[in-house]
């Protein structure tokens, strides 16, 4: 299966998971060139989240995986005083959550050390500002 197809399947999977746990979810369709600022807007409890979905086979995720238009969109999202943009990473069958600001600071991260989707997106509180609860 090619990367584009894997990515599209993961985007659909994440939309369905978020909807099941009470989020209003909108998938952002790419334009004719295939570009989009991020994949999903999810809203719950009056908070909107910009989410980009990535699949990754290696245990390291680098900021170089983000396209320039995605970085510009995340930066604009932050300037508008929204919640922390999120990169959802599908790795070895698991979904991991990475905050854009963390990736921007460290440039690359070890995926196995990231929080699981079920802890960040399903209602468990953490000490990170802007976390989905």
Angle among Cα 84, 98, 61 to the nearest 5 degrees reads: 135
Residue 48 falls within a domain, yes or no?
yes
Q: Which residues pair with 68 in a beta bridge?
A: none
- The region, left, alpha or beta by phi > 0 then psi within -120 to 50, assigned to residue 94 is beta
Residue 35 falls within a domain, yes or no?
yes
Residue 38 falls within a domain, yes or no?
yes
Give the count of alpha carbons within 13 A of 79, CB side only: 6
Residue 131 falls within a domain, yes or no?
no
The CATH number that applies at residue 12 is 3.40.1350.10
Residue 129 falls within a domain, yes or no?
no
Residue 84 falls within a domain, yes or no?
yes
Give the pLDDT score at 115. 81
Using the CB atoms, write b or e for 93-124: b if 16+ within 10 Å. eebbbbbbeebeeeeebebeebbebeebbeee
Nearest to 89 by CA among 51, 56, 42, 44: 56
Q: What's the distance, CA 112 to chain centroid?
A: 16
Give the pLDDT score at 116. 81
Note down the domain range covering 116.
3-120
Residue 54 falls within a domain, yes or no?
yes
Output the tens digit of pLDDT for each of the chain's 133 residues: 556 666 689 999 999 999 998 999 999 877 776 667 899 999 999 999 999 999 999 999 999 999 999 999 999 999 999 999 999 999 999 999 999 999 999 999 999 888 887 655 555 443 334 444 3
The domain total for the chain is 1
Residue 109 falls within a domain, yes or no?
yes
Give the pLDDT score at 131. 40
């Amino acid at each position: 299966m090619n990367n584009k197809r894997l990515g599209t399947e993961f985007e659909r999977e994440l939309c369905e998971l978020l909807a099941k746990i009470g989020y209003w979810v909108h998938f952002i369709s790419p334009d004719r060139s295939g570009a989009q600022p991020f994949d999903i807007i999810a809203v719950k409890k009056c908070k909107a989240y910009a989410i980009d979905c990535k699949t990754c086979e290696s245990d390291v995720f680098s900021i170089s995986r983000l396209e320039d238009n995605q970085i510009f969109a995340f930066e604009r999202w932050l300037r508008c005083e929204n919640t922390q943009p999120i990169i959802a990473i599908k790795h070895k069958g698991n979904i991991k959550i990475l905050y854009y600001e963390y990736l921007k600071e460290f440039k690359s991260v070890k995926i196995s050390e990231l929080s699981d989707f079920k802890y960040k997106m399903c209602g468990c509180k953490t000490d990170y500002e802007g976390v989905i609860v």
